């Protein structure tokens, strides 16, 4: 029988990450020996756990790429996974530490990802879809999905800069219409996102000045702090206005959101566990120095409005210690496991391979072999291997990602 083994994982130093020891990524990476030291001037944005070809995890004892180990030990994936995905690990788990907003973006469906890759291989180098899920480790902020139409209509009415940018006529139609709201919203959003930079810059400045004059309650209604923060990170960017179209979501630790195909979103601040299908397919529209493709984004994006609370993705209890987050895709699921101090606990048996990361606490795996558990340590568990854990003097928190079959 194949045994559990520790992984050496890679850190990504994107500029939107948190700096130095303020980053959860750096804390876990140093503790788990994925880093030798922390540079307080460096950004620590992501810790990658998986076999994605760009930065595959390594078998710690040998330095072998996890992807190569899987090729030689494909039975570790489990029969169901191999029948569905072949001899590859189809998911990537990450820890993210976000200090400034990521781009406003969507991920295309599998079919459309293949089409984009075929037509524009230099821009869209990946043919896979990229559904993803974020589970908050700290207070977490993001934009996710279009607001209810009533909320968007309120902002369009109360913020005259929108009339300056997209015109009164289409806004008036949208405010009155109840039968073709999606089409009209698409027209408004497209006009906004494709407006000349000079017009956007002028109206961002105008709106900032008006926000400064509001009382505190009004400032909260119009998300003045968020608007100003986004403008600080991305001066005069059209994405600043997107907060009045997309739901602003604040997650507490343990809460999650799931982002399926064509769902507009942007992470803003906080730390999270993220899990996704192995892909790098992103269509961007704002809050980024990278390539922006508004035409493609508006072609695929979902323009249906829904309240912020509907975007929360709830886990289900598998047992008293395990909460399972199981999205509507086969590529991945994530279990959050919290075991009290001094407990002996057997992880639920999975018939597919899984990766676990320890977030907090101490303990050890006592079967099938002895391995120490401490923050930042990452392990590969082959399919059908039963793991027994002895928890130390403080409770143990870990996350386990695996194929959702």
Q: Which sequence positions are flagged as catalytic?
A: 284
119 φ, ψ to 5°? Answer: -80, -40
How far apart CA 301 and CA 111 sit, in angstroms, is 14
311 φ, ψ to 5°? Answer: -85, -10
Partnered with residue 142 across adjacent β-strands are: 249, 267
How far apart CA 245 and CA 265 sit, in angstroms, is 11
Closest CA to 142 of 22, 258, 34, 64: 258
Q: Is the dihedral of CA 223, 225, 226, 232 positive or negative?
A: positive
Partnered with residue 354 across adjacent β-strands are: 381, 402
How far apart CA 185 and CA 305 sit, in angstroms, is 10
**Cβ contacts of 362 within 8 Å, gap of 6 or more:** 373, 374, 391, 392, 393, 394, 396
Partnered with residue 248 across adjacent β-strands are: 143
Tell the residue number behind the tokens 């003045």, with chain if given. Answer: 224
């Amino acid at each position: 029988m194949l045994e559990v083994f520790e992984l050496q994982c890679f850190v990504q130093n994107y500029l939107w990450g948190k700096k130095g020891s303020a980053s959860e990524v750096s804390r876990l990476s140093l503790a788990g020996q994925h880093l030798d030291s922390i540079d307080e001037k460096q950004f620590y944005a992501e810790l990658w756990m998986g076999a994605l070809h760009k930065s595959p995890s390594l078998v710690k004892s040998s330095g072998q790429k996890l992807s190569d180990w899987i090729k030689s030990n494909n039975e570790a994936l489990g029969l169901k996974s191999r029948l569905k995905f072949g001899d590859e690990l189809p998911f990537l788990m990450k820890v993210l530490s976000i200090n400034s907003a990521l781009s406003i973006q969507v991920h295309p469906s599998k079919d459309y990802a293949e089409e984009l890759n075929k037509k524009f291989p230099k821009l869209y180098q990946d043919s896979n879809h990229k559904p993803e899920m974020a589970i908050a480790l700290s207070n977490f902020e993001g934009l996710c999905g279009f607001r209810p139409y009533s909320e968007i209509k309120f902002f369009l009415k109360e913020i005259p800069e929108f009339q300056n940018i997209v015109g009164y006529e289409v806004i008036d139609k949208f405010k009155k219409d109840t039968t073709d709201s999606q089409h009209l919203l698409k027209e408004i959003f497209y006009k906004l996102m494709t407006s000349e930079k000079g017009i956007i810059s002028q109206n961002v400045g105008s709106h900032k000045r008006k926000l400064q004059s509001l009382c505190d309650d009004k400032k909260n209604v119009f998300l003045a702090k968020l608007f100003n923060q986004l403008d600080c990170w991305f001066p005069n960017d059209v994405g600043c206005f997107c907060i009045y179209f997309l739901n602003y979501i604040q997650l507490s630790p343990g809460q999650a959101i799931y982002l399926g195909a064509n769902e507009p979103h942007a992470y803003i601040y906080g730390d999270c566990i993220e899990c996704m299908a192995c892909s790098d397919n992103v269509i961007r529209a704002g809050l980024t120095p990278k390539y922006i493709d508004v035409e493609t984004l508006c072609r695929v994006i979902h323009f249906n409005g829904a309240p912020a609370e509907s975007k929360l993705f709830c886990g289900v209890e598998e047992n008293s210690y395990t909460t399972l987050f199981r999205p509507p895709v086969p590529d991945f699921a994530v279990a959050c496991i919290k075991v009290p101090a001094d407990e002996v606990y057997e992880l639920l048996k999975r018939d597919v391979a899984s990766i676990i990361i320890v977030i907090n606490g101490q303990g050890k795996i006592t079967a099938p072999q002895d391995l120490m558990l401490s923050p930042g340590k990452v392990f590969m568990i082959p399919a059908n291997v039963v793991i027994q854990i002895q928890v130390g003097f403080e409770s143990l928190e870990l996350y386990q990602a695996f194929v959702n079959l």
